[in-house]
């Protein structure tokens, strides 16, 4: 476990974007994807806002993904397995990097065909509790024409990351602007934030 945590953390230290393959054990990733698909089929997903629900028409020009918040209260085995893994990761991060993370929040995200999320920072201007962003992709067989890359804006370059099953991404919420390019097929992930409250 600690090996994969260190892979993510070390590549974050080297490149400002941590990337690890198979951060989620394969069977857990599969169960989470099935859980996501079942919730979506049951119409449990909602259009995501951008922090100001009054501007919902404008929001859809900024992002068109749909989300469902994970919650320990759901008593779902796979959501709970995921939280257990994140608890281990957070305590490893806090003990090795003195990050002082005190909590987290995660949602499933489903980008239907034609969806996107324009360039943004994950930290709200009015609330800086989100310290680190983390995205875990759940899409087997992602190919170049499928689009839907995560585009990260570095100082003098951009970096595109395909949302391929097993890939996990980790970066500082206040620093790195990023966008999700238009996807040509449904795109599934778990996205969340490690917080200091
Ligand atoms: C977000 C986000 C990126 C992705 O939800 O804030 O930037 O690759 N997601 O899904
Ligand atoms: Ni984001």
User: Token match 């239907």: residue?
Assistant: 112
- d(CA 177, ligand 2 centre) in Å: 8
Structural domain of 122: 2-195
Report pLDDT digits (tens) over 67-107: 999 999 999 999 999 999 999 999 999 999 999 999 999 99
**33 CA distance to ligand 2 centroid (A)?**
20
CATH code, domain carrying 141: 2.60.120.620
- The number of C-alpha atoms within 13 Å of 14 and in the hemisphere containing its C-beta is 9
- What is residue 54's predicted lDDT score, i.e. its pLDDT? 52
Check if 149 has its Cβ closer than 6 Å to any atom of ligand 1: no
Tokens of 29: 């990733």
**pLDDT digits 0-9 by tens, 105-130:** 999 999 999 999 999 999 877 789 99
Give residue 30's pLDDT. 97
Whether 135 lines ligand 1, by a CB cut-off of 6 Å, is yes
Neighbour-count burial for 146-173, b at 16+ CB within 10 Å, e otherwise = bbbbbebeeeeeebebebebbbbbbbbb
Alpha carbon distances (Å) from 163 to 44, 53, 188: 22, 27, 8
Better pLDDT: 105 or 52: 105
| Predicted confidence band of residue 48 (pLDDT cuts 50, 70, 90) | confident
Q: What is the DSSP letter of 127?
A: B
Taking CA atoms only, the protein residue closest to ligand 1 atom 8 is 150
Confidence label for 50 from pLDDT (cuts 50, 70 and 90): low
Cα of 151 from ligand 1 centre, angstroms = 10
Look at the chain and report how many structural domains it folds into.
1
User: From CA 130, how far away is CA 127, in angstroms rounded?
Assistant: 8
Cβ of 137 below 6 Å from ligand 1: no
**pLDDT on residue 124:** 77
Q: What is the pLDDT of residue 68?
A: 97
């Amino acid at each position: 476990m600690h090996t994969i945590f260190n892979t993510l953390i070390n590549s974050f230290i080297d490149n400002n974007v941590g990337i690890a393959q198979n951060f989620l054990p394969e069977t857990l990733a599969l169960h989470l994807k099935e859980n996501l698909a079942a919730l979506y089929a049951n119409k449990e997903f909602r259009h995501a806002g951008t922090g100001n629900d009054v501007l919902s028409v404008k929001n859809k020009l900024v992002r068109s993904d749909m989300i469902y918040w994970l919650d320990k209260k759901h008593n779902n085995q796979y959501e709970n397995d995921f939280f257990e893994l994140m608890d281990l990761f957070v305590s490893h991060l806090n003990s090795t990097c003195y990050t002082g993370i005190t909590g987290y929040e995660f949602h499933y995200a489903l980008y239907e065909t034609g969806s996107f999320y324009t360039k943004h920072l994950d930290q709200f201007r009015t609330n800086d509790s989100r310290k680190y962003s983390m995205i875990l992709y759940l899409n087997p067989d992602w190919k170049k024409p499928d689009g839907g890359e995560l585009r990260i804006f570095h100082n003098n370059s951009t970096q595109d990351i395909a949302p391929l099953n097993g890939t996990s991404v980790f970066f500082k919420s206040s620093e790195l602007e990023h966008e999700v390019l238009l996807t040509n097929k449904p795109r599934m992930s778990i996205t969340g934030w490690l917080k200091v409250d």
